[in-house]
């Protein structure tokens, strides 16, 4: 983190992320909010890049900016009252409470972390050349059980989606 380029990049990406998140809150049009959310995702991918976490950065673009955004697009399109204007929200108070709670947790962790022991030389010692192979080894080695559980969960999600939209032949004829 010593070179000026990294620091400059950090501030630029932070500004993009924070501005994007603020605009998500401010904009009254849901599609506008979505575009700014994608901007924030891209800024976060850039932040990951400045931390040399290239796989996580690319996965951030692939999953959040690419797929989740399209999923949200479909959700907005298929929800009545949400297509053009988002003037009134029913969940202001729960949303505020949840947001404050998450901010509190993150702030607590940030304040209580022993940063002096985690950064600098300690970070350089544990810094692998490529993150991909390390992540791969951990996924099918140490964390193989959570990995399998997650894949089974996703598989059931897929099955559930198919069952939900499956049109039975008899049902269509009777109706």
Nearer to other proteins, 12 or 69 (CB): 69
Question: What is the Cβ-side half-sphere exposure of residue 14, based on CA atoms within 13 angstroms?
Answer: 8
Q: What is the rounded distance in angstroms from the CA atom of residue 128 to the CA atom of residue 137? A: 12
Q: What is the torsional sign of CA 48, 133, 62, 107?
A: negative
9 touches other proteins by CB under 8 A: no
Nearest approach, Cβ of residue 96 and other proteins (Å): 27
Q: Which of 16, 19, 51, 69: binder of other proteins (CB under 8 A)?
A: 69
Whether 14 and 30 have beta carbons less than 8 Å apart is answered as: no
- Contact mark string toward other proteins, 77..106, x via CB under 8 A: x-----------------------------
Nearer to other proteins, 93 or 162 (CB): 162
Judged by CB under 8 A, the residue of 2, 3, 116, 127 near other proteins is: 3
Using the minimum distance from each CB to other proteins, give the nearer residue, 129 or 173: 129
Is 7 an interacting residue with respect to other proteins (CB under 8 A)?
no
The whole-angstrom separation of Cα 82 and Cα 75 is 9
- 133-139 contact pairs (CB < 8 A, 24+): 135/55
Using CB under 8 A as the binding rule, whether residue 151 contacts other proteins is answered as no
Number of other CB atoms surrounding residue 35 within 10 Å: 14
Tokens read off for 31: 């599609």
Per rule CB under 8 A, is residue 15 in the interface with other proteins?
no
Determine contact, residues 11/19, Cβ cutoff 8 Å.
Answer: no
End-to-end Cα spacing for the chain: 66
Question: Of 5 and 170, which CB lies nearer to other proteins in the complex structure?
Answer: 5
Q: Does 23 bind other proteins (CB under 8 A)?
A: no
Binding site for other proteins (CB under 8 A): 3-5, 29, 31-32, 35, 38, 54-55, 58-59, 61-62, 65-67, 69-70, 73-74, 77, 130, 132
């Amino acid at each position: 983190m010593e070179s000026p380029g990294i620091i400059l990049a950090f501030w630029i990406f932070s500004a993009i992320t924070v501005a994007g998140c603020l605009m998500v809150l401010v904009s009254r049009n849901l599609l506008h909010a979505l575009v700014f959310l994608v901007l924030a995702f891209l800024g976060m991918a850039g932040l990951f890049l400045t931390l040399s976490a290239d796989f996580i950065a690319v996965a951030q673009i692939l999953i959040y900016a690419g797929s989740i955004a399209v999923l949200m697009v479909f959700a907005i399109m298929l929800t009545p009252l949400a297509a053009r204007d988002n003037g009134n929200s029913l969940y202001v108070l729960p949303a505020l409470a949840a947001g404050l709670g998450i901010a509190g947790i993150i702030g607590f962790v940030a304040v209580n972390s022993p940063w002096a022991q985690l950064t600098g030389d300690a970070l350089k010692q544990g810094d692998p050349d490529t993150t991909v192979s390390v992540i791969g080894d951990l996924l099918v080695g140490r964390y193989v059980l959570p990995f399998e559980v997650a894949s089974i969960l996703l598989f059931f999600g897929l099955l559930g989606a198919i069952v939900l939209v499956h049109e039975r032949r008899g049902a269509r004829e009777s109706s």
